[in-house]
């Protein structure tokens, strides 16, 4: 039997559960300094995040419970781990969140949980918290609810009806990788089919089309390659119209280190986080730059380069595409230039309407990104 915290007060529970919530990063990105996983000085359960819509704000983030019936080998909260266990009641969670919200310390709520008994029992507690906020207290703001793998269709639709965003973690690309991580979860039944259901219920023209859907990969836990992850990521965006895909680098020592034994080569801690960062860069290329899965360049081991960003890797493999004429190129062509992002490309398109661009300095203040872009542009 694991130790159970029997009678902590609400603050004591939050000290435990908000800390454990750090392992779910499906509302945080690591592509820029203000999006790194971090917590504010005000309290362990307040997180600066990047929202699926792209905006940035601060969420009250906690688990309902860190009791879990699942056996995910990468997870430090899995059923056989000897940790302090506790749970929050729906009323407790709602009241503490509202206290912070009324003080204008938080924008909204991110609510997740371990599997407390069964998937539907856990969903009932998650949904009840949201229902109290919506129906009893009239809260109309942002609520992100996690969907527990294996939850029933009815429980999932109930969550969607109450939330601004819902997410069910895909965890890893494919059933063959999931079996390395869990003996309890069925990939198609517990993960893929519910993700498809959410996609249908929140699709264009549907009743819940304003609700956003996100998911998360645990990177490196099953020894999967980046090629596999990107293939699944592209499918999630292309076929299921996912709003955001997030990545959490598996860190040895948090779960069972033995599950990383099939990796093609050992990864240092810095490599693990750089791999996560490269996947976020690919995510931006797919969502913001018009890249397709076939445009992504991989190393011989099936992973993204740790030394060259994926956009420049594509450029190096397509020398005939460059240089690009800054005064004549289309938006699509300019977005292929390393060092140029959507904001800079928009500036180029606006400025060249007024006058011909004659040098890289005409684009904006010189920095490392514009210096890189200058190598691929002509004026």
| CATH at residue 294 | 3.20.20.70
- Please check whether residues 172 and 284 belong to one and the same domain: yes
Judgement on whether residues 199 and 282 belong to the same structural domain of the protein:
yes
Q: Does 1 fall in a domain?
A: no
Q: What is the DSSP string of 169-223?
A: --BSSSHHHHTTT-SS--IIIIIIHHHHHHHHHTSTTSTTTTSEEEEEEEETTT-
**Structural domain harbouring 86:** 10-302
pTM for the model stands at 0.84
Longest Cα pair distance anywhere in the chain, in angstroms? 74
- Distance from C-alpha of 281 to C-alpha of 292, rounded to nearest angstrom: 13
Under 8 Å between Cβ of 290 and 263: no
Residues 46 and 87 in one domain: yes
Same domain, 281 and 325: no
**Would you give per-residue pLDDT tens digits along the chain (379 residues)?**
333 334 567 777 777 776 666 656 544 433 344 444 443 344 333 445 544 455 556 788 888 888 787 877 777 777 777 777 778 899 999 998 998 899 888 889 999 998 888 999 999 999 999 999 999 999 999 999 999 999 999 999 999 999 999 999 999 999 999 999 888 899 999 999 999 999 999 999 999 999 999 999 999 889 999 999 999 999 999 999 999 999 988 876 555 544 544 444 456 667 888 999 999 999 999 999 999 999 999 999 999 999 999 999 999 999 999 999 999 999 999 999 999 999 999 999 999 999 999 998 998 888 888 999 999 999 9
Q: Is residue 126 part of a domain?
A: yes
- Residues 248 and 108 occupy one common structural domain: yes
Residues 221, 272, single domain; the answer is: yes
My answer on whether 346 and 288 are in the same domain is no
What would the two tokens of residue 242 be?
A: 């996912």
| Chosen domain end from 302, 331, 347 | 302
Q: Do 192 and 59 share a structural domain?
A: yes
What does each C-alpha distance from 311 to 22, 44, 101, 231, 302 come to in angstroms?
30, 36, 40, 17, 16
CATH number for the domain harbouring residue 357:
1.10.150.320
Query: What does each C-alpha distance from 294 to 6, 38, 161, 230, 290 come to in angstroms?
Result: 53, 34, 37, 10, 12
If asked whether residues 63 and 177 sit together in one domain, one would say yes
Into how many domains does the chain fold?
2
Could you say which of 302, 333, 359 is where a domain stops? 302
- Considering the domain architecture, whether residues 330 and 230 belong to the same structural domain is answered as no
Q: Which two tokens stand for residue 197?
A: 């259901």
Question: Is residue 324 located within the same domain as residue 225?
Answer: no
């Amino acid at each position: 039997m694991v130790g159970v915290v029997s009678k902590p007060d609400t603050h004591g529970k939050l000290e435990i559960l908000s800390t454990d919530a750090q392992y779910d990063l499906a509302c945080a990105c690591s592509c820029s300094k203000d999006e790194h996983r971090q917590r504010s000085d005000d309290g362990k359960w307040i997180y600066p995040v990047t929202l699926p819509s792209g905006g940035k704000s601060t969420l009250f983030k906690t688990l309902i419970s860190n009791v879990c019936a699942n056996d995910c080998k990468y997870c430090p909260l899995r059923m056989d781990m000897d940790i302090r266990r506790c749970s929050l009641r729906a009323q407790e969670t709602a009241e503490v969140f509202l206290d912070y919200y009324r003080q204008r310390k938080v924008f909204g709520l991110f609510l997740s949980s371990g599997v407390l008994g069964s998937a539907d029992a856990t969903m009932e507690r998650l949904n009840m918290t949201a229902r109290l906020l919506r129906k009893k207290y009239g809260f109309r703001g942002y609520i992100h609810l996690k969907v527990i793998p294996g939850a029933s269709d009815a429980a999932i639709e109930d969550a969607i009806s109450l939330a601004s965003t819902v997410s069910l973690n895909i965890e890893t690309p494919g059933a063959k990788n999931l079996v390395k991580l869990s003996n309890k979860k069925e990939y198609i039944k517990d993960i893929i089919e519910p993700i498809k259901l959410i996609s249908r219920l929140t699709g264009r023209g549907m009743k819940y089309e304003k609700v956003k859907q996100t998911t998360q990969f645990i990177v490196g836990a099953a020894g999967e390659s980046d090629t596999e992850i990107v293939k699944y990521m592209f499918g999630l965006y292309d076929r299921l119209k996912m709003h955001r895909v997030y990545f959490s680098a598996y860190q040895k020592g948090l779960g069972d280190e033995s599950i990383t034994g099939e990796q093609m080569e050992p990864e240092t801690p810095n490599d693990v986080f750089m791999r996560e960062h490269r996947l976020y860069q690919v995510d931006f290329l797919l969502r913001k730059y018009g890249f397709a899965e076939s445009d992504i360049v991989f190393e011989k081991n099936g992973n993204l380069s740790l030394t060259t960003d994926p956009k420049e890797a594509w450029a190096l493999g397509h020398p005939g595409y460059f240089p690009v004429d800054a005064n004549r190129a289309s938006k699509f062509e300019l977005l292929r230039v390393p060092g140029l992002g959507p904001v800079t490309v928009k500036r180029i398109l606006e400025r060249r309407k007024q006058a011909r661009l004659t040098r890289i300095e005409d684009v904006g203040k010189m920095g490392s990104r514009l210096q890189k872009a200058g190598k691929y542009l002509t004026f």
